[in-house]
Amino acid sequence: MFVLEFKVKAKTTQYQAIDEAIRTTQFVRNKCIRYWMDNQGVNKYALNKLCKQLAEEFSWAKELNSMARQSAAERAWSSISRFYDNCKKGINGKKGYPQFQKNNRSVEYKTSGWKLDLNTRKHITFTDQKGIGRVKLIGTRDLHFYHPDEIKRVRLVRRADGYYCQFLINTEVKEQLEPTKKTIGLDVGLESFYTDSDGHKEPNPRFFREGEQKLKQLQRRLSRKQKGSSNRKKARQKLGKAHLRISRQRKEHALRLARCVITSNDVVAYENLKVSNMTKNHCLAKSISDVGWYQFRVWLEYFAQKFGKVAVAVPPQYTSQQCSNCGRIVKKSLSTRTHACACGANLDRDENAAINILRSGLSTVGRTVTSRLDLVNACGDSTSTSVAPEQLGQVESSAGNVVSSS
């Protein structure tokens, strides 16, 4: 299942109706959370029954499509079941106890409550009593490629720069590529976005750091505005657009690199990092969050499945300390950027780690490479993962294209 996203163009009254549907979704979800807190033995079926009771009790809740109310209950149960799973796993720290939602930004319809224009596929009509009506879809992707029965859910999302419509399509996206007979290991970092086992370093763009000064200015302007005023609303929208632009830049960068890496290699090994634990370091938390390692990993796994390649996550322990030539442990601090071993190996610290990651990944998939010379002999010429111009044009864009997978 994957998602296609389109920008929504509508009238002001229709935007207000979308906001009302989003508020109703938040109300139903929070009511389900409260019902679970106050009663023992509540399951997801009991939450679905509660939706019907809420519709009978509140007329404005009944105006929302019944399946949209069920989707709101499913959101509540998703947070509850995640809390149960975390408790069973015995994870350290907070278990994610379900919280009440304060700023919901989306409403989700299932197979009813909407009707797609089958002729143009550029308009969609929402048929519930919220009054959203017929809206226009702006995007580059063509929905004619997919049968209407494959669209399992439709989601309306509010963002700082407008409203979007997402279609969740139940189909597999597979593409066959010729084998490249190349393998590669990736060591992500802060100085460089990643260093591969061939020595190529991809620079870290640092999108948040570059836009941080502008964000501070917009934040100061927002703080000076009177609460509840229209000027404060405008300042808040400008700040939201600036944050949204940075997040889109980070996503597009991770998507492009992941596609280029996967299409250039048959096997890609990378570190299985716990980013949430690493951000607890207050000195590096901002830089770690800015680089977007987790998003890069998600796209690596997605494109590996799409193109039939192998992406292997390996444990990160001792990848930087172990010598890639002799296997000896050479302890070094974060400030030491060169790996020098008594066996004579002298190379960049990150490149040494990338070679260790590749070796560990190959052993995981049933192959073992004992040295970099064996790697070159087995796989041919070394490959560089720098982004080529012809590859950039093959990547899906943000609006109107694939935005997630499940």
Instruction: Tell me which of 380 and 351 has the higher pLDDT.
Output: 351
- Sign of the C-alpha dihedral computed for residues 314, 316, 317 and 321 taken in this order: positive
For 281-340, give the DSSP string: -TTTHHHHHHHTHHHHHHHHHHHHHHHT-EEEEE--TTTTTB-TTT--B----TT--EEE
Residue pLDDT, tens place only, 181-223: 899 999 998 989 999 988 899 999 999 999 999 999 999 999 9
Which of 210-214, 224-228, 337-341, 369-373 shows the lowest mean pLDDT across its residues?
369-373
Tokens 């808040």 map to which residue?
236
Residue 353 pLDDT class (50, 70, 90 cuts): confident
Residue 278 confidence (pLDDT): 86
Give me the sheet containing 310-314, strands edge to edge.
201-203, 192-196, 183-188, 267-271, 310-314
Identify the bridge partners of residue 162 per DSSP, sorted by sequence position. 159
Report the relative pairing of strands 2-9 and 162-169 from DSSP bridges.
antiparallel
Measure the CA–CA gap between 267 and 365, rounded to whole angstroms.
Answer: 9
183-206+250-396: CATH class? alpha beta
Measure the CA–CA gap between 194 and 273, rounded to whole angstroms.
Answer: 13
Residue pLDDT, tens place only, 84-106: 999 998 887 788 899 999 999 99
Q: At what angle do helices 66-89 and 44-57 cross, to 10 degrees?
A: 140
Tokens of 180: 């490249």
Residue 378: strand, helix, or coil: helix
Please say whether the beta carbons of 187 and 357 come within 8 A.
yes
pLDDT above 70 covers a percentage of the chain that reads 90
Number of Cβ within 10 Å of residue 385's Cβ equals 23
| Over residues 358-366, mean pLDDT | 82
Residue pLDDT, tens place only, 42-58: 999 999 999 999 999 99
pLDDT above 90 covers a percentage of the chain that reads 59
Instruction: Tell me which of 354 and 382 has the higher pLDDT.
Output: 354
Residue pLDDT, tens place only, 144-184: 888 888 999 999 999 999 999 999 999 888 888 888 889 99
Residue 366 pLDDT class (50, 70, 90 cuts): low
Residue range(s) occupied by CATH 3.30.420 in the chain: 183-206+250-396
Number of Cβ within 10 Å of residue 103's Cβ equals 7
